[in-house]
Amino acid sequence: MSGTFLGMPPFPQAAGIATGDAQLRHNLRKATHTIRGRRASVVGELDDWAELRAAGKAIKDRTLRHLDVYLERLEETVTAAGGHVHWAADAAEANAIVTRLVKATGETEVVKVKSMATQEIELNEALAEAGITAYETDLAELIVQLGEDRPSHILVPAIHRNRAEIREIFDRTMSDWGVPAPEDLSDDPRALAEAARVHLREKFLTTRVAVSGANFAVADTGTLVVLESEGNGRMCLTLPETLISVVGIEKLVPTWQDLEVFMQLLPRSSTGERMNPYTSTWTGVTPGDGPREFHLVLLDNGRTDVLADEVGRQSLRCIRCSACLNICPVYERAGGHAYGSVYPGPIGAILTPQLRGTSSELDASLPYASSLCGACYEVCPVAIDIPEVLVHLRGKVTQGKGHAAERAAMGAAGWVLGDEKRLGLAQRAAGRARNLVPRRLPGPGAAWTDTRDIPDIPAESFRDWWAGHEKEKKKGGGR
């Protein structure tokens, strides 16, 4: 992926996408507060939530320690069940494999069920270059695709759109895809869902190739698992003749017993439900039932580099629940697009720089997109210490090229703070010039003051006040 996202500038400036849009801020606040309220309610029902969380963490850590063993086991079981396994070192290789597999079928259209891995590698764009059209079938992904937009949330990719905006998108674009929206389409959620259902039905029945992701892959049996809320995924996974699943190598769990832990953790953390509405599993191919061909593309794309980092590797535990996004004050105000990645929010702030590196200004800025309040760690169902990784990555950025402005600022601060006399002179100078400080900063600081005021500078420093106070006490003979 490129260093910027749809041409967006680095995080501090891109954050204005949400901070400068009152409707977008309202949409984000309403949605995230609703989801996290539901999560808190269903998590509170379980007396053993802390134990479940610890178990999820332990399973993921054990799997990552022996990832090579479990990956080889998965390849064996998938192949034994009639599937084909392909290994992709990076995005280009994964896209080439999927494109080749689709072309081999002679088809020019594919349907897709939600897969962040394919968004990460920009598969839709690669397929389009090869003359193949990909149709998203998850409702939120469909909204994003029809609106020529980008996802802004892990669980609800169209979280930044309200009902009226979705109705306008459907009314304006559905006819271009062969099944126009009803003339009297309202913004009632049921009417919008029905319009999408009618729109997608033809694609489900006629498209012979599907592309999916997976929430989990069970090494012992070669089974892949997708959790979703609408049932569209089930249509994608069963009706086409060829199914191609693109899965990150970190999605492994060793056994079905391990999977059971995550089947409790994920629904409660993501949608605030006790049980997931649709859980689809498939193992290889079964004669007379489901796809005739199954291909599993195992994607690295930087994951082994993340695994090599003793602190950063914990980000590979992520089960894509989005709980950290829903609790994050920065995400709520900035929106998902500001992160310049398919992985927004706190998890994106640590995962993206590790997968892509920090050579671009955007990726180098992501570890700073946090107040380090720790709320993300508290709600993470697999106990990823996101603040710890953020600080770790900030150190790596600083040890590398760092930020020129930040280095200059820290150097000046160190020079002033390193000497008591220089600090006193600086404080007195600031106090005298306090009325000359603008309410909005110019240049690079302008974005910071778009949504906050510069703190008032006191007329005198504490040191000067204390010295004067002591002097007055001595004059009065007091203690």
Nearest to 91 by CA among 338, 300, 345: 300
CA dist 49 and 42 (Å) reads: 10
Tokens 């041409």 sit at which residue? 7
Question: If you ran DSSP here, which 8-state letter would residue 245 be given?
Answer: E
Q: Is the pLDDT of residue 178 over 90?
A: no
Q: What's residue 353's pLDDT?
A: 96
Q: What is the band of 392 on the pLDDT scale with cuts at 50, 70, 90?
A: very high
- Please answer whether residues 462 and 428 qualify as being in contact, where contact means their C-beta atoms are separated by less than 8 angstroms: no
For 47-137+208-303, which CATH class? Answer: alpha beta
Q: What's residue 444's pLDDT?
A: 64
Residue type, 143: I
Q: What's residue 351's pLDDT?
A: 97
- Please answer whether residues 55 and 255 qualify as being in contact, where contact means their C-beta atoms are separated by less than 8 angstroms: no
pTM over 0.85: no
Better pLDDT: 17 or 288: 288
Q: Is the pLDDT of residue 11 over 60?
A: no
289-334 confidence digits (pLDDT tens): 899 999 999 999 999 999 999 999 999 999 999 999 999 999 988 8
User: DSSP assignment of 73-107, as one string?
Assistant: HHHHHHHHTT-EEEEESSHHHHHHHHHHHHHHHT-
Please report, for residues 124, 136, 168, 306, 313, the alpha-carbon distance to residue 115 in angstroms, rounded to integers and kept in the order given. Answer: 11, 10, 26, 20, 21
Mean pLDDT score, 364-372: 92
- Which structure tokens are listed for 41? 């309610």
- Please answer whether residues 319 and 262 qualify as being in contact, where contact means their C-beta atoms are separated by less than 8 angstroms: yes
Q: What is the band of 402 on the pLDDT scale with cuts at 50, 70, 90?
A: low
Q: Is the pLDDT of residue 443 over 90?
A: no
Q: What's residue 429's pLDDT?
A: 87
- Please answer whether residues 340 and 14 qualify as being in contact, where contact means their C-beta atoms are separated by less than 8 angstroms: yes
Residue type, 23: Q
- Please answer whether residues 85 and 76 qualify as being in contact, where contact means their C-beta atoms are separated by less than 8 angstroms: no
CB atoms within 10 A of CB 420: 9
Q: Is the pLDDT of residue 41 over 80?
A: yes
- Please answer whether residues 390 and 352 qualify as being in contact, where contact means their C-beta atoms are separated by less than 8 angstroms: no
Average pLDDT, the chain: 89
Better pLDDT: 67 or 138: 67
Mean pLDDT score, 128-138: 94
Residue 77, exposed/middle/buried by CB under 10 A (0-12, 13-18, 19+)? buried
Task: Quote the strand ranges of 334-478, DSSP E.
Answer: none
CB atoms within 10 A of CB 27: 21
Sheet of 216-218, strands arranged across: 252-253, 216-218, 223-228, 278-283
Q: Which of 170-184, 331-345, 357-371 has the lowest mean pLDDT?
A: 170-184
CA dist 101 and 322 (Å) reads: 32
- pLDDT > 90 fraction of the chain, expressed in percent and rounded: 57
- Please answer whether residues 301 and 251 qualify as being in contact, where contact means their C-beta atoms are separated by less than 8 angstroms: no
User: 210-220: b or e for each residue (b if 16 or more CB lie within 10 Å)?
Assistant: bbbbbbbbbbb
- Which structure tokens are listed for 13? 């400036």
Mean pLDDT score, 89-110: 98
From first CA to last CA, the distance across the chain in angstroms is 68
Residue 142, exposed/middle/buried by CB under 10 A (0-12, 13-18, 19+)? buried
CA dist 86 and 271 (Å) reads: 32
CA dist 374 and 391 (Å) reads: 12
Phi, psi of 418 (to 5 degrees): -80, -5
218-256 confidence digits (pLDDT tens): 999 999 999 998 888 899 999 999 999 999 999 999 999
Of how many residues is the chain composed?
479
Q: Which of 109-118, 273-282, 375-384, 464-473 has the lowest mean pLDDT?
A: 464-473
> Where exactly are the structural domains of the chain?
1-45+322-402, 47-137+208-303, 406-476
Q: Is the pLDDT of residue 17 over 60?
A: no
Please report, for residues 203, 231, 350, 400, the alpha-carbon distance to residue 357 in angstroms, rounded to integers and kept in the order given. Answer: 38, 36, 11, 11
CA dist 39 and 334 (Å) reads: 22
Better pLDDT: 454 or 342: 342
Mean pLDDT score, 373-393: 97
3-state helix, strand, coil in the chain (%, to 5): 55, 10, 35
- Please answer whether residues 273 and 84 qualify as being in contact, where contact means their C-beta atoms are separated by less than 8 angstroms: no
How big is the chain by its Cα radius of gyration, in Å? 26
Within 8 A by CB and 6+ apart from 35, the residues are 155, 156, 271, 272, 322, 326
